[in-house]
Amino acid sequence: MAGRLREKLDRLIFRRALSRWSANAGEAADMAPARLRALRGLARQTRSELDRVIFQAEYRLGLPVIGSGAVRRLPGTDWSWRPDLWKGPIPVPGMTAVEGKTEICHGTTLFHDCRRSELTVRQLRNTREKDVAPFGFRMDVFRFDGSFLSVVLDLPDEAAQGLKLRHLIRLDAIVELEKPLEIFARLNIRHGPNVEQVVRELPLTGNETFVDFDLAYTRVNEKRIEKLWIDLIFEGPEMNQVTLRDLTVSRRPRAEL
């Protein structure tokens, strides 16, 4: 009851204030300088607070919702997932001189073998209308004296549950590059004491890219599958900026012939 009464009073006050400012605007051309000067000060104070509200509204309402699990799913998809790095804010959003084997957030680790790191990483808030993921991930690589740079994504246990050789595992990504770069995706499947690896190169003909891993061509023992993870491998990353606006992993059974 009190909430509804407060809302009605707010609307009444707003209508009266709006009506008064409308009248002031109509009289401003003929208003005395002293009165106009005082009115200008009030208008500036009011506009400052209005601009704060508009800024926050545009920022929050125009962005993908934090924690969004929305994923583009192909027909037949029985599991899909977006890593935490692209889904919500992480504890440390930016790092400089990142050392090898650094955990960016839970489930995502960066590896390299540089003697001296000139690598910075940070999480970005996506703002474009076409963005589905709330956050993106950016790496700035300057001098690079190592032999490899990779980002390792640990897939959740659900990825392995019920996984069969008739499944296709798909990785979708939105990638922005400062200059051309080769990126490879390596799917790792631990089954018993063995690890099966399947490598695919991401076709970077546009920002949106994907690769499929067909388990039918592997020697995986589907009865002993324990864990999956994906390595994103960046070849020759020196003096480049790599932005991953989104990344999702999904699986679907191959169509029966």
172 and 239 part of one domain: yes
In a domain, 174, yes or no: yes
- Which residues are paired to 191 by β-bridges? 194, 225
The answer to whether residues 87 and 133 touch, using CB atoms and an 8 Å cutoff, is yes
Q: How far is CA 169 from CA 149, 210, 255, in A?
A: 23, 10, 13
87 and 47 part of one domain: no
User: What is the predicted pLDDT for the residue at 67?
Assistant: 62
Cα distance between residue 187 and residue 152, in whole Å: 10
Q: For residue 194, how many C-alpha atoms fall within 13 Å in the half-sphere facing its CB?
A: 11
Residue 226 parent element (H or E): strand 225-235
User: What is the predicted pLDDT for the residue at 239?
Assistant: 94
Cα distance between residue 185 and residue 193, in whole Å: 22
- Single-letter amino acid code for the residue at 166: R
Q: How many structural domains compose the chain?
A: 2
120 and 33 part of one domain: no
136 and 18 part of one domain: no
143 and 184 part of one domain: yes
Environment class of residue 125 by beta-carbon count within 10 Å: exposed (0-12), middle (13-18) or buried (19+)? middle
User: What is the predicted pLDDT for the residue at 39?
Assistant: 86
In a domain, 68, yes or no: no
Environment class of residue 56 by beta-carbon count within 10 Å: exposed (0-12), middle (13-18) or buried (19+)? exposed
DSSP state, 249?
E
52 and 95 part of one domain: no
107 and 139 part of one domain: yes
93 and 121 part of one domain: yes
In a domain, 164, yes or no: yes
Please give the torsion angle defined by the CA atoms of residues 46, 51, 54 and 60, in that order, rounded to the nearest 10 degrees.
-130
144 and 18 part of one domain: no
- Single-letter amino acid code for the residue at 238: E
38 and 131 part of one domain: no
How much is the pTM?
A: 0.76
- pLDDT per residue as tens, the chain (257 positions): 567 777 888 788 888 888 888 888 888 888 898 888 988 988 888 888 888 877 666 656 666 776 666 777 888 899 999 999 998 888 888 999 999 899 999 999 999 999 998 999 999 998 877 788 889 999 999 999 999 999 999 999 999 999 999 999 999 999 999 999 999 999 999 999 999 999 999 998 888 999 999 999 999 999 999 999 999 999 999 999 999 999 999 999 987 65
Q: How far is CA 194 from CA 2, 64, 164, 219, in A?
A: 65, 40, 16, 10
In a domain, 108, yes or no: yes
H helices of the chain, where? Answer: 2-27, 33-61, 84-87
227 and 102 part of one domain: yes
CATH number at residue 133: 2.60.120.260
Q: Which domain holds residue 144?
A: 79-253
How far from chain centre, in Å, is Cα 7?
Answer: 37
Cα distance between residue 238 and residue 142, in whole Å: 5
DSSP state, 164?
-
56 and 86 part of one domain: no
Cα distance between residue 140 and residue 241, in whole Å: 5
Cα distance between residue 123 and residue 12, in whole Å: 43
